[in-house]
């Protein structure tokens, strides 16, 4: 197994650690630890794709598992943020519904021997989700010693930023889901 694919699998393991850390009974530095794990997992998303393209290590496994690992990570973080009353539940449901839709399309394509790789809009959607989730996580833990450096971002004067990030994420998520559906409508018509 090549390095990019190992990074993809590592992202799944780090996501499990992130969920475990965030799901435990509250402890000092919990959000800081969760944010650090989320950030590390997010960086592996960039690295695996970059290394695969740069060193010509793109595989069908990577084309399928990389987006799946992304979906698991973003689904986990937004579900946890919803349980913390930071992310509106309907936004999380929309994000997860989009991910199931795209995964379903990928399965249909796979049954025909094709692989639907992530497109540019999907990558922007992922970036917006990572930025939004990071902002919301840090906002929840800004009182912890490890995250106090970000306190200026959460002053009342910029309180609108979290809502704006959520709105952008919801719009990009919806747009990219609809684009996948339209661009791959032949897969649905064939069934």
pLDDT number for residue 105 = 86
| Nearest-angstrom CA–CA distance, 32 and 44 | 18
What band does 157 get if pLDDT is binned at 50, 70 and 90?
Answer: low
pLDDT number for residue 27 = 94
User: Mean of the pLDDT values across residues 32-51?
Assistant: 94
Q: Which residue has the tokens 């999380």?
A: 92
The pTM assigned to this predicted structure is: 0.89
Q: Enumerate the H helices of the chain as residue ranges.
A: 3-23, 30-54, 60-83, 89-111, 120-141, 160-183, 185-189
Cα–Cα separations (whole angstroms), residue 11 to 40, 45, 189: 8, 7, 34
Q: Which domains does the chain have, with CATH numbers?
A: 3-189 (1.20.120.1760)
């Amino acid at each position: 197994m090549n390095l990019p694919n190992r990074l993809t699998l590592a992202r799944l393991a780090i996501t499990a650690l992130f969920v475990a850390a965030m799901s435990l009974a509250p402890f000092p530095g919990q959000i800081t630890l969760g944010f650090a794990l989320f950030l590390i997992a997010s960086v592996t998303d960039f690295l695996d794709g970059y290394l695969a393209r740069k060193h010509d290590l793109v595989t069908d496994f990577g084309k399928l598992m990389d987006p799946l690992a992304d979906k698991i990570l973003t689904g986990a973080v937004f579900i946890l943020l919803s349980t913390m009353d930071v992310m509106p539940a309907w936004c999380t449901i929309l994000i997860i519904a989009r991910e199931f839709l795209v995964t379903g399309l990928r399965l249909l394509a796979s049954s025909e021997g094709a692989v639907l790789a992530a497109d540019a809009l999907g990558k922007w959607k992922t970036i917006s989700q990572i930025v939004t989730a990071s902002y919301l996580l840090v906002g929840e833990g800004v009182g912890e010693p490890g995250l106090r450096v970000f306190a200026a971002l959460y002053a009342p004067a910029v309180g609108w930023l979290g809502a704006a990030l959520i709105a952008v994420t919801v719009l990009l998520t919806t747009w990219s889901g609809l684009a996948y559906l339209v661009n791959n409508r032949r897969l649905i018509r064939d069934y």
